[in-house]
Amino acid sequence: EPEVTQTPSHQVTQMGQEVILRCVPISNHLYFYWYRQILGQKVEFLVSFYNNEISEKSEIFDDQFSVERPDGSNFTLKIRSTKLEDSAMYFCASNQGGLSTGELFFGEGSRLTVL
């Protein structure tokens, strides 16, 4: 069964460093998302991406965050200068034709620890 894959599974970084989290969505999917989950809290929407551009972003997704689809398979989330409060689990997700018709598939997550 195809699945969304994410790397790294865990990254530890110093405050102020840049971090790139990588995702490979399911191959025939067209809609891509990043969600964040701070330990013990709910899953929060960060950004959605379709047709090579951001379609929507939350207030969490400020200028320190960016997303990119550098080739036909990867979808990356970059945090330019990490803060302590960026420590969380980051989930990539993808969907084939929009949530009106299909479900959202989540990756295993990348745990980011900012020291």
Partner 1 sequence: GENVEQHPSTLSVQEGDSAVIKCTYSDSASNYFPWYKQELGKRPQLIIDIRSNVGEKKDQRIAVTLNKTAKHFSLHITETQPEDSAVYFCAAYGGATNKLIFGTGTLLAVQP
Determine if 107 is a binding residue for partner 1 (CB under 8 A): yes
> Max CA-CA distance within the chain?
41
**SS3 for 105?**
strand
**25 sits near partner 1 (criterion: CB under 8 A):** no
**How many whole angstroms separate alpha carbon 14 and alpha carbon 98?**
37
> Near partner 1 by CB under 8 A, which window of 11-19, 45-53, 69-77, 78-86?
45-53
Count of residues touching partner 1 (by CB under 8 A): 21
**Of residues 26, 109, 112, 114, which one binds partner 1 by CB under 8 A?**
109
Q: Which residues contact 1 (CB under 8 A, 6 or more apart)?
A: none
Which residue, 48 or 82, is less far from partner 1 as judged by CB? 48
Q: Is residue 44 at the binding interface for partner 1, with CB under 8 A as the rule?
A: yes
Is residue 35 within 8 A of residue 49, CB to CB? The reply is no
DSSP per-residue letters across 61-90: --TTEEEE--SSS-EEEEESS--GGG-EEE
Give residues 46-85 in contact with partner 1 (rule: CB under 8 A).
48, 50, 55-56
Q: What minimum distance in Å lies between the beta carbon of 106 and partner 1?
A: 4
- Chain residues in the site for partner 1 (CB under 8 A): 31, 33, 41-45, 48, 50, 55-56, 91, 98-100, 103-104, 106-109
